[in-house]
Structure 1
Amino acid sequence: MPVRPPTPSRRQVLGGAIGTLVGVAVAPHTAAHAAAATYDVVVVGAGAAGMTAALTAAERGLSVLVVEKAAKFGGSAARSGAGIWLPNNSVILAAGVPDTAAKAAAYLDAVVGSDVPADRKAAFLAKGPEMLDFVMANSPSRFLWMEGYSDYYPGLAGGMPNGRSIEPAMFDGNLLGAERANLNPSYIPTPDGVTIYSHEYRWLNIALVNATGAAVSTRTVARWVAAKSAGKDPLTMGQALAGGLRAGLLRSNVPVWLSSPLTELLHDASGRVTGVTVDRNGTATTVNATRGVIVCSGGFERNAAMRAQYQQQPIGTDWTVGAHSNTGDGILAGIGAGAQVSLMEDSWWGPAIPLPDEPYFCLSERTLPGGFIVNQQGRRFVNEAAPYSDVVHIMYQQNATAPDIPCWLIVDQNYRNRYLFKDLSPTYPFPDGWYAAGAVKKAWNIPALADAIGVPRTNFWNTYTRFNGFAYSGKDLDFKRGDSVYDHYFTDPGVSPNSCLAPLLTAPFYALKIVPGDLGTKGGMVTDARARVLNGSGAVIPGLYAAGNCSSAVMGHSYAGAGSTLGPAMTFGYIAAKDI
């Protein structure tokens, strides 16, 4: 339910008392203060939502400034695989996907339910395809259908078993010029000598044991060679998305101030938001916005105090893969302006392995045949191949009565011999640092592995033998792994009778620690169908808009398909700018 904020001051400085309360890493006002600048629109945040909003406003003839807290542009989008869930768009229709507006509406209603107002869902579906065409017309960005990447609930009304998600086509980083150095790096850098699309990882995972996988692997090398031979700097996934949008802003002469965190939203006597103050190079700088401010500053996944205040335990900032600058500054500024917030308890969850340097968001590894997950009683408790957000929701739901944080992904040596794991080639041993950090355990038999992870031997043995029985029969009677089309996306088609299931037989056996990770938080300012921020009474706060993870997600507590973060973020950034 929406949370009504306490009555705030009208000019809330994030570096002041509230910033101290919630631990926001934003500098307070300094003694120096620069002369005010004036633009029609100020956009806070240079991620996918913010850059789409800025590009839209600029192409409608407005003067626009983007202010970005981090020293790099792109935010979490640049770090991501950049899947974009956007029903009924021109890219998938041209590829022959049989989507319609009616199918999309039926599916989104089935997935999200009544958690989100109908007009917001309708606005996303109506304006999403329009936004995509606008971006392609006004930037060098192009997109590809992620063929086969199923909607996460393909069995629901309107669900698409072959998928609706798209991703950026290869982008030439040379088009950014000097700005190329300011692009936020990938969460997992692409290896040198290859150019990979997000939808190809499913095949690279099994390249050693699958002809299609081997062919795709060869193609990634050939693509890189061709691009380099043509003098290009080939970027894909989040790098291509952020790069393409930034190139569009360069064409439109939109300035982007990096290292310029928001410290204050400004108001006139009537309560209308009229601009911002940012800390630029240690100087408090006022920027007036004659038409409006669009806050696209990301979530609060890196703010420990906010996570402790709003979210379930255990939680923290160490398990997220969201951008390091996402400490909730825009949300707190919105609260200071009287904004209502909702969905603060939720995130874009996914199982993660807490590796020494940073967590690894676990996608294919928990789905490939030859592995299962157990709780602290040594029992399975979930369909390991289910949508990643569902797995973590179940972890939290059950943890109080059947502790499963952390839980353990169990695999054998045959699994390691066949499949890529993160960026480790098949047969390659897990790094010593993973063992030293407690992220992985190893034993030469099942009872010894039970001891290593501290679960009851009998329970663990029974789970192991029962799972192997399901693998032989091809039917998971306990959690229905493999019943959904989605379950088979990250699997091995060479395994039968169920590509999701294989017995664990070959020693040594491994256990990898699993915790509740996330791509970012999904709660924030409540907005209407026009992306206008609403106050605690449900009235519009004039001049204030929000999009992306600083706003309450149009997906509610669910997750329709790959790219359910970026599709709505870009769409509502576009909607906000058009409304202005």
Structure 2
Amino acid sequence: MAVPPGPSPRLPSESSPPPAAAGPSRRAVLRGAAVAGAVLVTGGALDRGGVPAHADAEYDVVVVGCGASGMTAALTAAKRGLSVVVVEKAPTFGGSAARSGAGIWVPCNEVILAAGVPDTPAKAAAYLARVVGTGVPADRQAAYLANGPAMISFVIRNSPLRFRWMEGYSDYYPEFPGGMPNGRSIEPDQLDGHILGAELANLNPSYIPTPDGLVVFSADYKWLTLSAVNPQGLAVSAQCVQRGVEAALRGEKPLTMGQALAGGLRAGLQSAGVPVWLNTPLADLRVESGRVTGAVVTRNGAQTLVRARRAVVVGSGGFEHSPTMRREFQRQPIGTDWTVGAKENTGDGIEAGERAGAALDLMDDAWWGPAIPLPDQPYFCLAERTLPGCLLVNGKGVRFVNEGAPYSDVVHVMYDRDTPSSRHIPAWLITDQQYRDRYLFKDVPPLLPLPEEWYQSGAAFKAVTLDQLAGKIGVPAAALRSTVARFNGFAFTGRDLDFHRGDSVYDRYYADPYVRPNPCLAPLWLPPFYAFKIVPGDLGTKGGMRTDARARVLRADGTPIPGLYAAGNASGAVMGHSYAGAGSTIGPAMTFGYIAANDIAANP
């Protein structure tokens, strides 16, 4: 069996340092709230916190969270004939999905099959099993693969969303059995935001907005990065401009990526008559005789009980912006400043589920990726660390990983190897002026200077020599010189003997095809030299309530909590500690939202 270069996916069975001890204050609060709830739901005029004992509203299904998982669950339930309401903490809809590139990893869906991708259920099952390992039950993996294609077809037929194959965006471990070197991921096609009417103003903004006048898809970015040195990059840039001009002539508000995904799902809810209550955070779950029967929310400044005749589906996102939960469950150093997840994701739904008796899974993990802590917000690095002419070093000035490996693996290595005597957090991305002259870096075009604020904040450094650069970032000068010299030798031969960068098809996706003999490797020789601080960023946490193949929330003894379902980052990820391909967050989130709603409809 071929194994891709660089770090292999970290399987749940592998050892890792235990999470920090539970914070007694949070646990005490949870225990106290659970006890209080068990007493107060027995009767009386008021429940805890002054919540009316009688519901202010009643629906078949209450969905918590208006992101990809929540909206898919709500749309599915509505089309199955159930009455549904969506409650959302934020003043906007879309959550982290709206901020994202909106890749969706769902094998064997109708979009990729129509494009001629030679996928089969057997290939997908073999690949996912190899990536995920034994830590995720086989029936959950099977449920995801069996329902994912149906979910995509359902969304296409019940919303204005259409999808495009991200051709060439390889699975993250294409050399594994069943892996697809040309990729399985899809993304939303262009959508006219005007279909949302006034609701368009409530769409959560993108993480990095597309420049005005351009229409850019996720699959375009690899070529835009190369537009100064590659004819196809120039052609794709021209296409982005042309799409923008055509949309303007048609009087459209063009949406792509996460904006299109969230907008299209919201338009589907509008057509289905599903109400969405924004600015309505979850306070708690209503539990009666061991069954979840509703949600206590704060609406218009008042505690409101929304009763669920059938079930509550929690799709409220992860806990990436909860410093308390991150300190309790995750390895240090960690915080809330390095994530690009929606700021409202503070673990409210997970904590409410825990109070109701839910077991938790994967709380130590996240959808990691190397990030540069820029002064305005962290920047999640994709192409920048893969393009030829750069390398990553630790606090000793030594390479420690295949820079082009899947982003979650790079951060796992950073954490696994970080010790007081050998710091890997922060790490440093080292490059030179030739690299800066050739490639887009974030949104800074080649040849243009980097923003001065980057230097002032300590996120970037520049020096005429490697020795001077080493002094600025606090690594041994001799070690950095030796590391760069050895790396330059690999660039000339085209073979990275230390970490095999460029051996995998995935490594080469964001590479430069005009660089030979290895499109991932080029020497660093032209001063000045640059260093960018690299920290463990993330797209969101991936731990949450334990769920089964039907998306039902489970207790520690494996029994389901009646009336409670979870999907997306409020639940433990079906990907376990790994990442199958672009869209391994959103694909399962939407699929298990779909599964939850169908299970509720089928089991009254």
The TM-score by the shorter chain falls in which range?
Answer: over 0.9
Structure 1, unaligned runs of 5 or more: 15-27
Counterpart residue number, 2:535: 515
The whole-number CA distance in structure 1 between the counterparts of 2:265 and 2:386 is 33
2:447 counterpart letter in structure 1: T
The whole-number CA distance in structure 1 between the counterparts of 2:458 and 2:121 is 48
Q: 2:84 aligns with which of 64, 67, 76?
A: 64
The whole-number CA distance in structure 2 between the counterparts of 1:145 and 1:177 is 28
CA shift digits 1:450-483 (9 cap, x unpaired): 1111111111110010011111110000000001
The whole-number CA distance in structure 1 between the counterparts of 2:473 and 2:560 is 52
Shift of 1:307: 0.3
5 Å-filtered alignment, 1:472-511, equals 472-511=492-531
CA shift digits 1:67-93 (9 cap, x unpaired): 000000000000000000000100000
5 Å-filtered alignment, 1:35-184, equals 36-184=56-204
Counterpart residue number, 2:362: 343
Shift of 1:322: 0.3
- Aligned to 1:187, the other structure's residue is in SS state coil
1:217 counterpart letter in structure 2: S
5 Å-filtered alignment, 1:294-333, equals 294-333=313-352
Counterpart residue number, 1:430: 450
Contact 1:34 1:283 in 2 (8 A): no
- Aligned to 2:484, the other structure's residue is in SS state helix
Shift of 1:231: 1.2
- Aligned to 2:404, the other structure's residue is in SS state coil
Counterpart residue number, 2:222: 202
- Aligned to 1:84, the other structure's residue is in SS state coil
The whole-number CA distance in structure 2 between the counterparts of 1:480 and 1:436 is 35
The whole-number CA distance in structure 1 between the counterparts of 2:201 and 2:370 is 32
- Aligned to 2:56, the other structure's residue is in SS state strand
The whole-number CA distance in structure 1 between the counterparts of 2:285 and 2:250 is 47
- Aligned to 1:562, the other structure's residue is in SS state coil
The whole-number CA distance in structure 2 between the counterparts of 1:436 and 1:13 is 50
Counterpart residue number, 2:589: 569
The whole-number CA distance in structure 1 between the counterparts of 2:182 and 2:197 is 38
Shift of 1:228: 1.2
Counterpart residue number, 2:481: 461
CA shift digits 1:280-303 (9 cap, x unpaired): 121111100000000000000000
5 Å-filtered alignment, 1:342-381, equals 342-381=361-400
The whole-number CA distance in structure 2 between the counterparts of 1:419 and 1:12 is 58
Counterpart residue number, 1:266: 286
Q: 2:464 aligns with which of 444, 448, 464?
A: 444
CA shift digits 1:508-543 (9 cap, x unpaired): 100000000000000000000000000111100000
The whole-number CA distance in structure 1 between the counterparts of 2:559 and 2:167 is 42
Shift of 1:267: 1.3
The whole-number CA distance in structure 1 between the counterparts of 2:483 and 2:331 is 28
Shift of 1:13: 8.5
Shift of 1:8: 4.1
CA distance 1:291–1:12, change in 2 (3 Å): farther
The whole-number CA distance in structure 1 between the counterparts of 2:164 and 2:63 is 28
Contact 2:52 2:305 in 1 (8 A): no
Q: Does residue 535 in structure 1 map to residue 555 in structure 2?
A: yes
The whole-number CA distance in structure 1 between the counterparts of 2:56 and 2:599 is 25
The whole-number CA distance in structure 2 between the counterparts of 1:336 and 1:138 is 35
Counterpart residue number, 1:225: 245
CA shift digits 1:11-62 (9 cap, x unpaired): 5789xxxxxxxxxxxxx94689996100000000000000000000000010
Contact 1:274 1:543 in 2 (8 A): yes
The whole-number CA distance in structure 2 between the counterparts of 1:525 and 1:246 is 25
TM-score scaled by structure 1? 0.95
Contact 1:370 1:501 in 2 (8 A): yes
CA distance 1:198–1:34, change in 2 (3 Å): farther
- Aligned to 2:413, the other structure's residue is in SS state helix
Contact 1:379 1:459 in 2 (8 A): yes
The whole-number CA distance in structure 2 between the counterparts of 1:529 and 1:81 is 27
CA distance 1:268–1:34, change in 2 (3 Å): closer
Q: 2:298 aligns with which of 274, 279, 293?
A: 279
Contact 2:51 2:305 in 1 (8 A): no
Contact 2:369 2:381 in 1 (8 A): yes
Q: Does residue 291 in structure 1 map to residue 345 in structure 2?
A: no
Shift of 1:268: 1.4
Contact 1:34 1:285 in 2 (8 A): no
2:307 counterpart letter in structure 1: N
The whole-number CA distance in structure 2 between the counterparts of 1:152 and 1:332 is 32
The whole-number CA distance in structure 2 between the counterparts of 1:12 and 1:84 is 41
1:434 counterpart letter in structure 2: W
1:71 counterpart letter in structure 2: P
- Aligned to 2:157, the other structure's residue is in SS state helix
Shift of 1:428: 1.2
Contact 2:51 2:304 in 1 (8 A): no
The whole-number CA distance in structure 2 between the counterparts of 1:123 and 1:162 is 24
The whole-number CA distance in structure 2 between the counterparts of 1:73 and 1:329 is 17
CA distance 1:542–1:35, change in 2 (3 Å): closer
Shift of 1:402: 2.2
- Aligned to 1:574, the other structure's residue is in SS state helix
Report the number of matched residues: 566
Contact 1:277 1:286 in 2 (8 A): yes
Contact 2:190 2:254 in 1 (8 A): yes
- Aligned to 1:515, the other structure's residue is in SS state strand
CA shift digits 1:256-312 (9 cap, x unpaired): 00010000100112x110000100121111100000000000000000010000000
- Aligned to 2:134, the other structure's residue is in SS state helix
The whole-number CA distance in structure 1 between the counterparts of 2:449 and 2:101 is 26
TM-score scaled by structure 2? 0.92
Counterpart residue number, 2:3: none
2:320 counterpart letter in structure 1: E
Q: Does residue 383 in structure 1 map to residue 394 in structure 2?
A: no
CA distance 1:30–1:227, change in 2 (3 Å): farther
Contact 1:8 1:337 in 2 (8 A): no
Counterpart residue number, 2:44: none
1:460 counterpart letter in structure 2: L
Q: Does residue 246 in structure 1 map to residue 266 in structure 2?
A: yes
Counterpart residue number, 1:412: 432
The whole-number CA distance in structure 1 between the counterparts of 2:448 and 2:390 is 17
CA distance 1:31–1:156, change in 2 (3 Å): closer
2:582 counterpart letter in structure 1: A
